[in-house]
Amino acid sequence: MFAFILLALAVLVAVERTSSPFFQGCISENEKANGNTATKNDPTYGAVFTGYIRCSGRFIEAHGIGITALSGILVAAFTGTLWIATSRQSIITKEIWVADKRAFVFPTGINPFWELNPDEGFYYWRIRPVWQNSGETPTRRLRLYTDCEIRDTALPPNFQFVDGPIPPGAGMLGPHSSSMGGAAPLIPRPGISPQDILDAIASRKFIYLWGWVRYYDVFPNTKEHVTRFCWQIMPVGDPHAFTPGQIPTAPGSLQFAYLHIGQGNCADDECG
């Protein structure tokens, strides 16, 4: 408002000084009436200032209709600018609120599961990611997929993460809740064998767990969200010595760690 008042005064002074013969004539008459004493060293600047104010009053009185119209235009412009700024601030505030409250799903770890191979008498493994929703609201139309890649070489750059024939699973994650995803390698493929584990420990093979989750939040007119992950599984221990109920911290016990790699990990716009 202060800026608006200054702008209006500046416009008024500019119009008076440059475009109003009426105002300029009034100033000339005022100088003559005061003996034209308004010089640089004259101490009677007060008279000049008083005359200037008087002439401005006469100018406003003589051009009241035009000044009122101009003031209306300036007020309308100021009101429009204020409305635009308020609308933008409202949109920004809503976006911040939605971002703070919406569901956000991401993987937090792995959960390995064993299965006994009756022909060999050893245990094979499938691994499930753990998904968590850190948001204040539940997900809608959630779909998720998990897969496993066991390779003789490290994952090449720009590896194409292509879904297999098994369709994605469906579900829902409530606020601040977590759940496990699908188990990989996907059935009917065999699980991770003891030999696969020994080869991975010796860096002769590389085990990768990867997947994604897609979901919507509860707020209207918001786009679908996606989170992707790809981790290298790092087993430690002796798979042939594993028995159910084995203490994870016991010497030689089988454990599975994981390592983020440089591709396949993203969320929303980062995933392209």
Answer whether 146's CB lies under 8 Å from 166's CB: no
Answer whether 173's CB lies under 8 Å from 142's CB: yes
Measure the CA–CA gap between 263 and 154, rounded to whole angstroms.
12
| One-letter identity of residue 24 | Q
For the beta sheet containing 177-180, the strands, ordered from the edge strand earlier in sequence to the opposite edge, are 105-117, 122-133, 177-180
Q: What is the pTM of this model?
A: 0.67
Ordered by start, the domain boundaries in the chain are: 2-100, 104-271
| Cα distance between the two ends of the chain | 45
Cα dist from 215 to 119, 145, 209, 233, whole Å: 41, 12, 21, 26
Measure the CA–CA gap between 49 and 47, rounded to whole angstroms.
5
Measure the CA–CA gap between 236 and 197, rounded to whole angstroms.
8
Coil, helix or strand for 152? coil
Q: Could you identify the residue written with the tokens 């080869």?
A: 199
Strand-pairing partners, residue 116, are 123
Instruction: Render each residue's pLDDT in the chain as its tens digit; 272 residues.
Output: 566 566 666 665 565 556 556 556 665 666 566 655 444 445 455 555 565 666 666 666 665 665 665 566 766 666 766 666 565 665 556 566 556 789 999 999 999 999 999 888 999 999 999 999 999 999 999 999 999 999 999 999 989 999 998 999 999 999 999 999 999 999 999 999 999 999 999 999 999 999 999 999 999 888 999 999 999 999 999 999 898 887 766 666 899 999 999 999 999 999 97
Q: How many CB atoms lie within 10 A of CB 139?
A: 26
